[in-house]
Amino acid sequence: MKYFNLALSFITLFFILTAITKVSAQYALSDFIVAGCVTQNVAVYNSSLVYQRDLATSFGCAAGLDLMSNSNVVASSQNTEVRFYNPAGTLVSSFTGAQVGLPIDTKAYLGNVFIGTQDTNYGVSDFTMGGTFVRNLGTPEYRSGVAVLPGNILWAGGEVGDIDVFNISTGALITSIPLDNGQGNAHAMYYSPSTNTVLMTDIISNTVFERNTSGTFIRQFTGGASYYGVTRGPGGDVYSTDCFGNQIHRWDSAGNFIGSISTLPEVNCPVNIIWAGNTVVTAANVAVSGRVLTQNGGGLARATVTITDQSGNVRTAKSNSFGYYKFEAVESGATYTFGVFSKGYQFNPQVVTVNDNLTELNFTPEQGRNLK
């Protein structure tokens, strides 16, 4: 299905009017988030897959979903709009752009949003969180599934019969993974940190596949039909949305089918699914410290040092009388931008991936700017 456009019937209009009357509200870290194409909503289900409320309504064909490191939801729609919601249910920001295309899959990573556009003109589109279009990854082939793996690696799949592997930093194509074991495409994908594997749906064979990070086949998940979105949930179980069957299917981690639940009437054509519990930070916290210096090597007192995460959250610290500063409870494995502000001085920011305690992240002002 090269372009996923659903004609709205009178029955469809009923579901839309029902969705519009619902109030957007919060989600917990134990909840599932489900995107509905025909009902044009993003719905919240609890851990038992019982509908709770709508997070978004009147959103066009809601399709792509992902969770950011701060537990915010990023959702893309086939009306070329991208929205960001926080756990309180507040619409934080949004943007539109032709390069959003007709998304089924969306991933947020290090301040950018990667969208499988289902459009032969765009492939996978790369945007900043603010909505600035950056680039397209790969040749303009029909792409839908997107997964981000450790090491700045992006997988892009679709109806082309393979998975292209890109270096996110450079945009270069590293390799292509041929599909086997009966898999016809990779319509939507999810990298599972707990297993270091990638789950993916195939709408040709109506099967969910699991592969390791080198692309080697591990297992299949069968028992439903028309699989679109996929995620891993509580206890390592696997969940997939069935758009035309209006169901969510569930398996245990070994691939044994557990059962299904209907999403009607709240969600008609569930296209994608994520579990908010996947954003719980399990990495250890570390400390970052250093010194703010003048050009002659002396300590600069009362300079403001900032640390900004990839979601734009900012913390500050003041340097002491000897120029020393320190940040506690910094998430290990995350990337931050550090900056320094002091009257009469100008410092270049530093972008650092913090993997362990840092004790000498020092700052010296630019040449010629050490004047008060």
Helix (H, G, I), strand (E, B) or coil at 336: strand
3 within some domain = no
What does DSSP assign to residue 299? B
Last residue of a domain, one of 279, 303, 323: 279
Helix (H, G, I), strand (E, B) or coil at 278: helix
Spans of the chain below 70 pLDDT: 1-25, 140, 142, 224, 279-284, 367-372
pLDDT value at position 138?
80
Q: Are 311 and 336 in contact (CB under 8 A)?
A: no
pLDDT value at position 334?
79
Domains identified in the chain, total number: 2
Q: Is 255 found in the same domain as 303?
A: no
CATH code (residue 337): 2.60.40.10
237 within some domain = yes
Q: What is the DSSP string of 7-33?
A: ---HHHHHHHHHHHTSPB----TT-EE
Q: Is 85 found in the same domain as 31?
A: yes
240 within some domain = yes
Domain span at residue 18 reads 10-279
pLDDT value at position 159?
74
Tell me the β-bridge partners of 211: 198, 217
pLDDT value at position 224?
65
pLDDT value at position 329?
78
Q: Is 257 found in the same domain as 314?
A: no
Q: Which of 327, 334, 277 is nearest to 29 (CA)?
A: 277
Q: pTM score, two decimals?
A: 0.71
What does DSSP assign to residue 14? H
